[in-house]
Amino acid sequence: MLKYKFYATLLDAFTWYLKSEQDNAFQEFIDKLNRVPFTSEAAEKGTAFNELVDKVAHDGEVYFEDEKGMIHYNCFSFKRRIVDDFTTIVCHGTPQVFTSAILPTRFGDVELYGYIDEVMPGGMIMDIKCTSKYEFPKFLHNWQHIVYPYCFRFNGMNMPYFTYKVTDYNNLYEEDYTYNHDRDLIRLQVHVEHLIEFIEQHRHLITDLKLFALDEPALENNS
C-alpha cells in the first residue's frame, strides 16, 4: 500500500534544511512541505531562462538580441551567447519528461516523482540549473541524479547517466554523475526514511495531503 508521495526536489529541500543554520530554516521547510507559494527574483529569473531555452530549442520561437547582445524575456535579460549555448545542447532532447517509481522503505512504499528538464538521445538525463555563483561540485548532495535514474530503472530502462548543465548567466558549467544502484539505492532509502520520520513527527503542521498519498488512489507497484 502506498504511504507517501515525494517529488524529487523535495529531497533536496530536506537536505538543505538539515544543513542549514538559518533561524527560519524549520518554518521555510514546513512551508515547502505545504507548498506555500514562494517567489524570489532569482527563482523567477531561473524559470524565465528555462522557459526561454525551451521555446527556442523545442518550439522554434525566435528572439532577437539588442545592440548589447542581450535577449529580453519576461522582464529579464540574458546574453544571447548563453541562450545559444543551451539551445544547441538541448535541441535534440525531449523536454519536461514526467517520471515516477515506487521506493520500498521500512515505513511502507513511497512514490517518487518529478519532471526531467531534458531526456537526451543516448539515454542522458539532463537538468538545467541557474545560479548567481557557481563552485564545483555545487550539486553533489542533490537527489535528482539519484531519483531520476532510479525511476527509469524501476520502469525497466537503464539510464544511469545524469548531467547538470549550469549557468551563472555568464558561463556554462556541467556536473556529471553516474547512478550506481547497489550504492545509491541504500542512500536514497535512508534519506527518504529520515524525511518520513520528520513529517510524521510534525504531521500536525502539514496540510498537503499528497505527501501522505491521500490525494488519489494509490499507484500500483508494477515492478
What is the full per-residue pLDDT of the chain (223 aa) written as tens digits?
899 999 999 999 999 999 999 999 999 999 999 999 988 999 999 999 999 999 999 999 999 999 999 999 999 999 999 999 999 999 999 999 999 999 999 999 999 999 999 999 888 999 999 999 999 999 999 999 999 999 999 999 999 999 999 999 999 999 999 999 999 999 999 999 999 999 999 999 999 999 999 976 544 443 3
- 2-32+93-212 has which CATH code? 3.90.320.10
Domain locations in the chain? 2-32+93-212
Q: Per residue, what are the HEC states of the chain?
A: CEEEEEEHHHHHHHHHHHHCCCCCHHHHHHHHHCCCCCCCHHHHHHHHHHHHHHHHHHHCCCCCCCCCCEEEECCEEEEHHHHHHHHHHHCCCEEEEEEEEEEEECCEEEEEEEEEEEEECCCEEEEEEECCCCCCCCCCCCCHHHHHHHHHHHCCCCCCEEEEEEECCCCEEEEEEECCHHHHHHHHHHHHHHHHHHHHHCHHHCCCHHHHCCCCCCCCCCC
